[in-house]
């Protein structure tokens, strides 16, 4: 039994769950009714109007109402929204024991010590029926959940079932008029027909305290002072006692059916709650309290929750855990549902049952540990008595039918918890709380002494987290020692991040996030139960409490993401989706708004671009965010959110952003703002802003002083004028003083009647005229002309060297990202737009590129055509030669010298290396090269394709050899070990191995493209080199089917044609062209070239060359032939146009001027050595590999195409597939 919530109060006599909200009503012996939220664990309301104990209490199923009945004989109907009693039903003459609403009709059923049961209509607020018959207190009366029945229990030792269908017909059938029931007298008259006793159940030996219907079956349970719980069965005609549950040793107060399971719950004054198995009539669980007698039980109509009231409060509990056992690996969720292990693929949402679990335990699976390497699971089952807990080790079948999955035999052992610690090891915490390490056969490999430990959790390979009373310890199983400990009480679950860099420890009301070394990063306290959690991709921990999905950053920031109606168990978080299991074990996906925590995460990680993006695009406004930013020291970020100018202003000042502050101040235009801005700007030496502030605030003194210190004399003078206008004498004078304007000073002094001062000033400054004039105004009788101090010095302010126009120089501080961003705000918008415009363009490019690929890159070639003619004429780069590294001679290390033989130790002989097997298993040359057996490889190449000159093969041999063996390090400082990748590694066994080839036909074909491009670019030498490399590589292929064999042969043909053609063309360009014969030879060769099988794009080029040469030679007839062939290939419009012109010119005189050794109509092969046509029927020798043709005299020489094979050699033929040996 799991207690979810407890209260302390006076004796609880009545309980009622709210059907939807997490609320429960408790009616107390002291007259108070309490409304609790059992999830938040808070008291929501108190209703204190009853006088004396309140025993009956019931929520209405739909309306915001509840009914209560007390020892004050009153039935009260309350509205909890209005928080008051709506009305009181009076009628009972003694204590009221129970009050219940009907689930459908507007009725209330009450049972009373006045020996009656009454039915009230709470709409008309009248008593509609009185059920009499019991001859002692009626302790309980309840409606049937679906039928027109009432069950009642009384201290007269009977349980009665009443039929109230009459009442329903009378009152609620259509058209029926509400019966007038006036007082009890009326009921006496008609009541008998309204409600009749159907069954009287006798069997209890003492008074019956409680009776209740089964929610679906025709059963009744009752509890009585004879300490028994009885089960009764009824049908239409009779009712009989079915069974008795004995065990309580004091009065049974209450007994109810479990709403969904075959269980009965009862509680008693013997201070216990007992759970009984209905079918076996045996006690399943007992829960005892030390001092409190139990009085009442309540069952939640929908959830797996119960409540029990006792002498000093009540408790809300459930019988078993509802948490599904699950494990997540990669994209897979494994979970247990209804005796099946199911697998959910997060990506495809495919949910399949993979395995049926062995039955036999009455307890649900408590936890699961999954091992991806072995595809095995450990399922732990926890019994009420912990010592009886067991675990099962299952190997998940590879293939399974979801409809009817296999039930593989598992291995069961006792143990509290079992978790994987390595690919082939798991740890078991046994009931003695010691740690066993077991292997896949469930055999103990070793025992590990651990510090006191109540529970173990996974902690990566080779490690465990051990929980003891007040902390969690990271324990290395291999080293058998503790690595780190962290204090946190009662951790229940542990959630590792995907890369195991962080771990979240979940306790009942707390979360601690630690790093891999179990150093605490943050602690979060929750008032509500923490349920589950998962790490999202970005390293934010998403967790659920009973009613919220929340997030936590490793820095400790946490907050609510959304609310939940019912608890869920998070399995994975990805993007906006939270994958979870609910209490019915259904996988669900909830959508969340991750903006807030992403934002905070970006801030913490200083990814300001991201922050800014979110600020601009997400709806992230709100005081909380601004306050958060301000608190966390990011006022500049907060600035982005603030629309309110006042806040904006103060934020800008806070982060010293004068520009923004100025903007805001302009908008606000308040004196206070300008003053504050002025101060801030002055501190930064931003005197232009200071000036503006002083101007706005009309602070003339400060302004004047500012002009003085900035040396702005013009403005200073202006200020003086202003002071004059304002009649601010002292200001005026001060200005004059600052300016050193003596005459002005004199004037001021004179005007304000300070004649003597004016005189002195004038005199001292040598303004004699002025002084004289002043002197005359003195009335010598009354006044004395002051003496001029002969030592007086001129009081002149130093003139400014340079007026300061610019602001004070500021240190070039790199502008914070956000300040810059604010400045660039306007521009950024444009840029974004630009990018949008460009985006489709990008796609267009993509399409083009694809097009090129489709046409094998010829688009490219055609584009470049115009220039190529020229390039070709020039012959391209010539000098490139294959540079072969000729390594210095090195001596082989000396062979292993045999030491003296020991008597007892005989060193083993060398074993069979896989590479030797490769040679034995294959007749393909490449396998022998990979095996390092050059000798046999050469022989094979010689015999198969007639290679006699291996020079060109050296590079290929060495490369091939170097990919034959991998290496890995054994012990440090020792030569490495070698691995031998094999192509048939899966099923070759020890003897049938063949090396992984590493050369693919497709790669060779792909390399053709490069050669074509070189050809197009006119770099014939390079192209030939590459074609030859491809050609020579073909015998080193291994292919699987006939089609590929044909393709390999075709590849050889292509290479050969190009090599022959291109070598001839290179040769042709080297020939002299002075004489006619020489020119004729050139033309012939050009003509032969057009008979090599080339790609159309190249053929166009070749034909154009031939056409031009023949036209120049005035062999118009043949030229016309070339022109027509050229046009057939569909060249580019310009080329076509030009060709047509030439063709037209040729057709005027359709003759050949010169006789050439070229007959376009007579098919021929071209001798690759002499470049002469070998017309059909003439003897010909061929190269065994390339198939190039030669005149017979060349037999026995090295093929010009391959430069490796012997012309006309008798060979087996190309062998590139094991198929060719069958």
Name residues contacting other proteins, limited to 482-541 (CB under 8 A).
Answer: 500
The residue among 646 and 978 lying less far from other proteins, judged by its C-beta, is 978
Q: How far is CA 362 from the centre of its chain?
A: 37
**CA separation for the pair 362, 344 (Å, rounded):** 25
- Residue of 135, 777, 962, 1151 interacting with other proteins (CB under 8 A): 962
Site for other proteins in 322-381 (CB under 8 A): 373
Out of 21, 983, 1117, 1154, the only residue in the binding site for other proteins (CB under 8 A) is 983
CB of 399 to other proteins, least distance (A): 17
Contact 445/459 with Cβ under 8 angstroms? no
> Please, which contacts does 657-661 make with residues 24 or more away whose CB atoms are closer than 8 Å?
657/819, 657/822, 658/684, 658/686, 658/689, 659/823, 660/822
In the range 762-801, which residues lie near other proteins by CB under 8 A? Answer: none
Beta carbon of residue 653, minimum distance to other proteins (angstroms, whole number): 47
- Which residue's CB is nearer to other proteins, number 885 or number 1077? 885
Please tell me the distance from the alpha carbon of residue 477 to that of residue 479, in angstroms, as a whole number. 6
Token output for 642? 């603030």
1204: three-class secondary structure by DSSP? coil
Contact pattern from residue 1187 through residue 1216 relative to other proteins, giving x for each residue in contact according to CB under 8 A and a dash for the rest: --------xxxx-------x--x-------
The minimum distance between CB 829 and other proteins, in angstroms, equals: 39
- Asked whether position 966 contacts other proteins by CB under 8 A, the answer is yes
Contacts for 1167 with CB less than 8 Å, ≥ 6 apart: 1173, 1174, 1189, 1190, 1191, 1194
362/481 with CB nearer other proteins: 481
Minimum distance, C-beta of residue 274 to other proteins, in the bound complex (Å): 47
Alpha carbon distance 747, 733 (integer Å) = 9
- Contact region with other proteins (CB under 8 A), list: 138-146, 248-256, 958-966, 1141-1149: 958-966
930 Cβ neighbours under 8 A, 6+ residues apart: 915, 918, 960, 961, 963, 964, 995, 997
Confirm if 418 and 393 have CB atoms less than 8 A apart: yes
Which is closer to other proteins, CB of 268 or CB of 960? 960
Q: Are 318 and 304 in contact (CB under 8 A)?
A: yes
Instruction: Give the nearer residue to other proteins in terms of CB position, either 524 or 937.
Output: 937
User: What is the strand order of the sheet 350-356 is part of?
Assistant: 326-329, 332-337, 340-345, 350-356
The smaller minimum CB distance to other proteins, of residues 479 and 576, is found at 479
Site string for other proteins, 847-886 (x = CB under 8 A): ----------------------------------------
**1043 near other proteins, rule: CB under 8 A:** no
User: Using CB under 8 A, which of 811, 968, 1162, 1179 touches other proteins?
Assistant: 968
Handedness of CA 645, 646, 649, 650 (dihedral sign): negative
Contact 1039, 1048 (CB under 8 A): yes
Among residue numbers 1062 through 1091, which ones bind other proteins (CB under 8 A)?
none
How near is the Cβ of 970 to other proteins at its closest, in Å?
4
Q: Which of 803, 842, 877, 951 touches other proteins (CB under 8 A)?
A: 951
Among positions 887-946, residues that touch other proteins (CB under 8 A) are 887-890, 892-900, 902, 905, 907-914, 932, 934-935, 938, 942
* Closest separation in Å from C-beta 1207 to other proteins: 8
Report the DSSP beta bridge partners of residue 7: 314
| Smallest separation (angstroms) from other proteins to the CB of 473 | 14
Radius of gyration of the chain (CA): 51
Give Cα separations from 1056 to 10, 1031, 1052 (angstroms).
104, 8, 6
Is residue 988 within the footprint of other proteins (CB under 8 A)? Answer: yes
Per-residue contact string for residues 61-80; x = within reach of other proteins by CB under 8 A: --------------------
CB atoms within 10 A of CB 1093: 12
**Residue 856 C-beta: closest distance to other proteins, Å:** 18
Q: Which is nearer to other proteins, 931 or 1094 (CB)?
A: 931
Please report, for residues 756, 947, 1004, the alpha-carbon distance to residue 1184 in angstroms, rounded to integers and kept in the order given.
Answer: 130, 9, 20
Q: Binding to other proteins by residue 1040, rule CB under 8 A?
A: no
What's CA 1200's distance to the chain center, in Å?
Answer: 61
Kindly determine how many residues on this chain lie close enough to bind other proteins according to the rule CB under 8 A: 100
Residue from 79, 684, 959, 1172 touching other proteins (CB under 8 A): that is 959
Alpha-carbon 199 to chain mean position: 63
Among 173, 403, 971, 1075, the residue binding other proteins under the rule CB under 8 A is 971
Total Cβ atoms within 10 A of residue 1069: 16
CB of 9 to other proteins, least distance (A): 54
- For residue 78, give every residue at least 6 positions away whose Cβ sits within 8 Å of its Cβ, in sequence order, or none: 33, 47, 65, 66, 67, 68, 84, 85, 86
Q: Per CB under 8 A, does 995 bind other proteins? A: no
C-alpha 223/C-alpha 228 separation (Å) is 6
Taking the least distance from each CB to other proteins, the nearer of 278 and 1039 is: 1039
- Per-residue exposure over 423-457, b if at least 16 CB sit within 10 Å of its own CB, e if not: eebbbbbbeebebbbbeeebeeeeebebeebebbb
The residues in 415-434 that bind other proteins, with binding defined as CB under 8 A, are 422-423, 425
Show the binding pattern over residues 439-478: x = contacts other proteins (CB under 8 A), - = does not. ------xx--x----------xxxx-------------xx
Q: Is 435 in the site for other proteins (CB under 8 A)?
A: no
Q: Which is nearer to other proteins, 78 or 957 (CB)?
A: 957
Tokens found for residue 1129? 């290939």
Residue 949 sits in the site that holds other proteins (CB under 8 A) = yes
The residue within the footprint of other proteins, chosen from 560, 833, 849, 976 (CB under 8 A), is 976
Query: Which of 527, 793, 973, 1162 lies at the binding interface for other proteins (CB under 8 A)?
Result: 973
CB atoms within 10 A of CB 365: 24
**The one among 174, 798, 972, 1072 contacting other proteins by CB under 8 A:** 972
Considering the rule CB under 8 A, would residue 967 count as an interface residue with other proteins?
yes
Cβ at position 1001, least distance to other proteins in Å: 11
Least distance to other proteins from the beta carbon of 249, Å? 51
Say whether residue 20 binds other proteins (CB under 8 A): no
Nearer to other proteins, 592 or 1183 (CB): 1183
Reduced 3-state DSSP string for 985-1012: CCCCCCCCCCECCCCCHHHHHHHHHHHH
In whole angstroms, the minimum distance from the beta carbon of 1007 to other proteins comes to 8
Half-sphere exposure at residue 976, Cβ-oriented, CA atoms within 13 angstroms: 7
Q: Which positions from 997 through 1036 interact with other proteins, judged by CB under 8 A?
A: 998-1000, 1002-1003, 1006
Tell me, what DSSP letter sits at residue 1180? -
CB of 925 to other proteins, least distance (A): 13
């Amino acid at each position: 039994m799991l207690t979810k919530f407890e209260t302390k109060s006076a004796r609880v006599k009545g309980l009622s769950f709210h059907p939807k909200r997490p609320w429960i009503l408790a009616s107390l012996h002291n007259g108070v009714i309490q409304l609790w939220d059992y999830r938040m664990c808070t008291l929501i309301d108190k209703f204190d109007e009853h006088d004396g104990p309140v025993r009956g209490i019931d929520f209405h199923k739909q309306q915001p109402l509840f009914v209560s009945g007390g020892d004050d004989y009153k039935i009260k109907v309350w509205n909890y929204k209005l928080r008051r009693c709506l009305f009181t039903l009076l009628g009972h003459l003694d204590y009221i024991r129970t009050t219940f609403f009907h689930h459908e009709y507007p009725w209330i059923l009450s049972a009373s010590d006045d020996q009656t049961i009454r039915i009230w209509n709470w709409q008309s607020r009248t008593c509609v029926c009185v059920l009499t018959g019991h001859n002692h207190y009626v302790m309980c009366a309840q409606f049937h959940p679906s039928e027109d029945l009432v069950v009642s229990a009384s201290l007269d030792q009977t349980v009665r079932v009443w039929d109230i269908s009459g009442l329903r017909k009378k009152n609620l059938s259509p058209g029926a008029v509400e019966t007038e029931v006036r007082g009890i007298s009326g009921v006496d008259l008609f009541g008998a027909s309204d409600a009749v006793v159907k069954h009287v159940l006798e069997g209890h030996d003492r008074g019956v305290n409680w009776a209740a219907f089964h929610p679906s079956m025709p059963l009744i349970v009752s509890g009585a002072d004879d300490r028994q719980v009885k089960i009764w069965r009824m049908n239409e005609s009779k009712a009989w006692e079915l069974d008795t549950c004995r065990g309580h040793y004091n009065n049974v107060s209450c007994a109810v059916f479990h709403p969904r399971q075959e269980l009965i719950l009862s509680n008693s004054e013997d201070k216990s709650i007992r759970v009984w198995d209905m079918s076996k009539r045996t006690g399943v669980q007992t829960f005892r309290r030390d001092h409190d007698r139990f009085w009442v039980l309540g069952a939640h109509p929908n959830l797996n929750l119960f409540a029990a009231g006792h002498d000093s409060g009540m408790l809300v509990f459930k019988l078993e855990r509802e948490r599904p056992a699950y494990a997540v690996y990669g994209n897979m969720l494994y979970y247990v549902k209804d005796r099946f292990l199911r697998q959910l693929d997060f990506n495809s949402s495919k949910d399949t049952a993979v395995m049926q679990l062995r039955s036999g335990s009455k307890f649900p699976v408590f936890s699961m540990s999954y091992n991806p390497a072995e595809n095995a699971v450990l399922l732990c089952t926890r019994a009420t008595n912990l010592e009886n807990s067991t675990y099962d080790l299952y190997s998940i079948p590879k293939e399974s039918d979801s409809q009817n999955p296999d039930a593989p035999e598992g291995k069961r052992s006792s143990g509290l918890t079992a978790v994987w610690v390595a690919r082939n090891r798991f740890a078991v915490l046994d009931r003695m709380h010691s740690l066993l390490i077991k292997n896949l056969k469930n055999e103990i490999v070793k025992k590990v002494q651990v510090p006191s430990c109540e529970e173990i959790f996974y902690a990566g390979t080779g490690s465990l987290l051990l929980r003891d009373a007040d902390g969690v310890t990271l324990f290395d199983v291999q080293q058998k020692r503790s690595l780190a400990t962290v204090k946190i009480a009662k951790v229940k679950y542990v959630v590792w991040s995907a890369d195991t860099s962080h771990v979240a420890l979940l306790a009942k009301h707390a979360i601690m996030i630690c790093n891999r070394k179990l150093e605490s990063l943050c602690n979060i306290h929750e008032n509500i139960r923490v349920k589950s959690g998962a790490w999202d991709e970005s390293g934010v921990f998403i967790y659920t409490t009973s009613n919220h999905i929340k997030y936590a950053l490793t820095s400790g920031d946490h907050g609510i993401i959304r609310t939940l109606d019912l608890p869920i168990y998070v399995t994975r978080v990805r993007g906006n989706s939270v994958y979870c299991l609910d209490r019915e074990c259904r996988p669900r996906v909830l959508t969340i708004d991750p903006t807030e925590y992403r934002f905070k995460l970006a801030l913490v990680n200083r990814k300001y671009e991201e922050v800014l993006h979110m600020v601009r695009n997400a709806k992230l406004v709100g005081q909380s965010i601004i306050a958060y930013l301000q608190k966390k020291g990011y006022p500049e970020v907060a600035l982005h959110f603030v629309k309110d100018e006042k806040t904006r202003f103060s934020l800008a000042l806070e982060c010293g952003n004068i520009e923004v502050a100025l903007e805001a101040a302009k908008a606000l235009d308040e004196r206070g703002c300008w003053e504050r801005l002025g101060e801030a700007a002055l501190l930064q030496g931003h005197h232009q802003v200071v000036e503006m502030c002083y101007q706005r605030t009309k602070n003339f003194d400060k302004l004047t002083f500012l002009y003085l210190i900035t040396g702005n004399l013009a403005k200073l003078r202006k200020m003086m004028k202003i002071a004059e206008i304002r009649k601010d004498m002292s200001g005026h004078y001060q200005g004059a003083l600052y300016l050193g304007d003596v005459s002005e000073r004199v004037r001021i002094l004179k005007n304000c009647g300070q004649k003597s001062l004016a005189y002195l000033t004038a005199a001292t400054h040598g303004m004699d005229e002025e002084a004289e004039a002043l002197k005359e105004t003195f009335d010598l009788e009354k006044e004395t002309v002051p003496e001029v101090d002969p030592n007086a010095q001129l009081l002149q302010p130093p003139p400014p060297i340079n007026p300061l126009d610019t602001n004070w120089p500021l240190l070039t501080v790199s502008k914070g990202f956000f300040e810059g961003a604010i400045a660039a705000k306007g521009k950024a918008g444009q840029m974004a737009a630009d990018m949008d415009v460009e985006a489709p363009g990008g796609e267009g490019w993509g399409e083009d590129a694809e097009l090129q690929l489709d046409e094998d890159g010829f688009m490219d070639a055609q584009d470049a055509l115009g220039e190529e003619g020229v390039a070709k004429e020039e012959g391209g780069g010539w000098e490139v030669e294959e540079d072969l590294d000729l390594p210095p001679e090195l001596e082989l290390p000396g062979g292993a010298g045999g030491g003296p033989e020991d008597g007892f130790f005989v060193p083993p002989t060398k074993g069979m290396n896989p590479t030797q097997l490769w040679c034995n298993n294959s007749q393909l040359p490449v396998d022998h090269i990979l095996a390092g057996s050059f000798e046999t490889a050469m022989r094979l190449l010689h015999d198969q394709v007639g290679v006699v000159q291996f020079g060109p093969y050296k590079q290929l041999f060495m490369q091939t050899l170097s990919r034959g063996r991998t290496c890995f390090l054994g012990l440090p400082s020792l030569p490495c070990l070698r691995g031998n990748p094999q192509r048939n590694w899966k099923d070759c066994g020890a003897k049938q191995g063949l090396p992984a080839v590493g050369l693919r036909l497709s790669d060779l074909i792909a390399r053709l493209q490069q050669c074509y491009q070189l050809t197009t670019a006119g770099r014939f030498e390079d192209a030939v080199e590459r074609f030859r490399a491809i050609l020579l590589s073909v015998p080193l292929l291994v292919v699987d089917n006939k089609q590929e064999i044909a393709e390999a042969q075709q590849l050889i043909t292509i290479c050969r044609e190009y090599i022959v053609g291109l070598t001839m063309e290179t040769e042709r360009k080297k020939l002299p062209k002075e004489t006619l014969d020489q020119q004729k030879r050139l033309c012939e060769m050009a003509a032969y070239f057009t008979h090599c099988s080339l790609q159309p794009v190249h053929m166009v080029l070749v034909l154009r060359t031939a056409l031009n040469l023949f036209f120049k030679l005035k062999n118009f007839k043949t030229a016309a032939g070339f022109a027509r062939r050229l046009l057939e290939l569909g060249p580019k419009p310009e080329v076509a146009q030009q060709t047509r012109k030439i063709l037209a010119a040729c057709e005027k005189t359709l003759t050949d001027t010169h006789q050439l050794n070229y007959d376009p109509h007579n098919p021929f092969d071209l001798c690759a050595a002499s470049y002469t046509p070998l017309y059909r029927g003439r003897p010909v020798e061929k190269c065994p590999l390339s198939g190039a043709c030669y005149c017979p005299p060349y037999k026995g020489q090295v093929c010009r195409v391959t430069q490796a094979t012997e012309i006309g050699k008798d060979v087996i033929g190309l062998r590139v597939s094991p198929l060719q040996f069958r």
